[in-house]
Amino acid sequence: EQEVLIIPFSVFKVMKIKRNYLEDSTASISIEIELEECEDVIDDNKESESALSDKASRSSSLLSSDKDIKDTEEYQLLR
């Protein structure tokens, strides 16, 4: 699935996933995930159209490192 739920109540769409190459077994593992926050349809219906035009989408970047991913074989299966 290409959406991520970040607690408490935000839903983000995965825009881009950037991985380093695993051919080098000495390299640390890193994954950069570019996210864009999805707009809440219920809240949008309550807002005026002028407020909607001013609303900007936010994007975030998360970084996971080799400290988070310990098993490279499991990581390769996820690729």
DSSP assignments along 30-58, one per residue: -EEEEEEEPP-HHHHHHS-HHHHHH----
55 against 32, higher pLDDT: 32
For the cut 80, the answer to whether the pLDDT of residue 37 exceeds it is yes
For the cut 50, the answer to whether the pLDDT of residue 5 exceeds it is yes
Pair of tokens at residue 15? 């825009």
Cα dihedral sign for 38, 39, 41, 42?
A: positive
Share of the chain above pLDDT 70, in %: 35
Half-sphere exposure of 21 (CA within 13 A, CB side): 2
10-36 pLDDT per residue, tens: 788 889 988 876 667 677 777 888 888
Answer whether 0.75 is exceeded by the pTM: no
